[in-house]
């Protein structure tokens, strides 16, 4: 059986920016400390929520290194190293290992896309090149690519491919993946609105946007489920459903950064092409935050 990278709620942490849109490392350290103090089970750095697509190559590497250093082994750090260029994904993943990351998150190739055979070759090439646990990332709404259950089965046989972040929203596919892969592939929910349902299918936790705003409560959704109190887990899932909806009312991470700024964390704006929220959606978000 492969080793599980983490169990519970891992935060897909934002990358805070200064007013000039440079990376605010002092604020990033504060966010990491806040997350750890509030029971977050893992830090996922330079993912979608971390605006990795608009970080320069040097920034991407520096942010990974910084997160590893400041987390200092207290909880796992998973580095986003995905790319639609296999060679570049290998380069980033090698760097993540050298920097001390505990695992890496690899999204399906976007824009140029590929076939299912291409997916197998892409992920296998990276896993062959770098001896570090790989968490696949299936988010067809952003990439136009879906990892099919049969492809997961093939990939799960690689010793370094240990898990997936499933953000397809297709619960039936997750059932099929569990049936085909069993304990050879851990599953993390990539949908904050489906944490408890996907835990019920044997998932190990969630890679969460919600955790940026309410880390302790998101952790508790998972912990209560794993302790057998499924009703309490479901109750929390339902309690925060309107907040979850509001955090995705516009493209992530626009709302979550706005939410953190409303709450006083001062994480700055998003980089273009992401921009500020519409006034009506911002009001919806503010109202949803009143539950905290």
Q: Catalytic site residues?
A: 137, 165
Distance CA 225, CA 60 (A): 35
CA distance 90 to 84: 11
Contacts of 87 (CB under 8 A, 6+ apart): none
Burial (Cβ within 10 Å: 0-12, 13-18, ≥19) of residue 54? middle
Structure tokens at 126: 């990276």
DSSP-assigned beta bridge partners for residue 161: 134
CA–CA gap between residue 216 and residue 37 (Å, rounded): 9
Instruction: Give the DSSP H/E element, type plus range, for residue 138.
Output: strand 134-138
Rounded Cα gap, residues 13 and 2, in angstroms: 26
Rounded Cα distance between 99 and 159, Å, is 21
């Amino acid at each position: 059986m492969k080793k599980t990278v983490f169990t519970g709620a891992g935060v897909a942490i934002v990358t805070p920016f200064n007013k000039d849109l440079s990376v605010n490392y002092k604020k990033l350290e504060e966010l990491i400390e806040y997350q750890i103090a509030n029971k977050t089970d893992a830090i996922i750095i330079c993912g979608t929520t971390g605006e990795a697509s608009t970080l320069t190559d040097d920034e991407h590497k520096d942010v990974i290194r910084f997160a590893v250093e400041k987390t200092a082994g207290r909880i796992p750090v998973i580095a986003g190293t995905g790319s639609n260029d296999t060679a570049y994904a290998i380069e980033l993943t090698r760097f993540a290992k050298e920097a001390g990351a505990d695992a890496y998150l690899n999204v399906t190739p976007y824009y140029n896309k590929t076939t299912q055979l291409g997916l197998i070759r892409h992920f296998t090439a990276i896993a062959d090149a770098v001896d570090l646990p790989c968490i696949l990332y299936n988010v067809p709404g952003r990439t136009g690519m879906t990892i099919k259950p049969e492809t997961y089965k093939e990939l799960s046989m690689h010793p370094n491919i240990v898990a997936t972040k499933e953000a397809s929203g297709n619960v039936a596919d997750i059932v099929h993946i569990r049936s085909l892969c069993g304990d050879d592939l851990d599953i993390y929910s990539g949908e904050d609105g489906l944490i408890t349902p996907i835990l019920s299918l044997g998932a190990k936790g969630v890679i969460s946007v919600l955790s940026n705003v309410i880390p302790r409560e998101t952790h508790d959704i998972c912990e209560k489920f794993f302790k057998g109190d499924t009703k309490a887990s479901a109750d929390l899932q339902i309690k925060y459903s309107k907040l979850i909806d509001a955090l995705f009312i516009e493209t992530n991470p626009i709302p979550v950064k706005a939410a953190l700024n409303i709450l006083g964390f001062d994480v700055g704006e998003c980089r273009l092409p992401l921009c500020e929220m519409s006034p009506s959606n911002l009001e919806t978000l503010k109202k949803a935050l009143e539950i905290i």
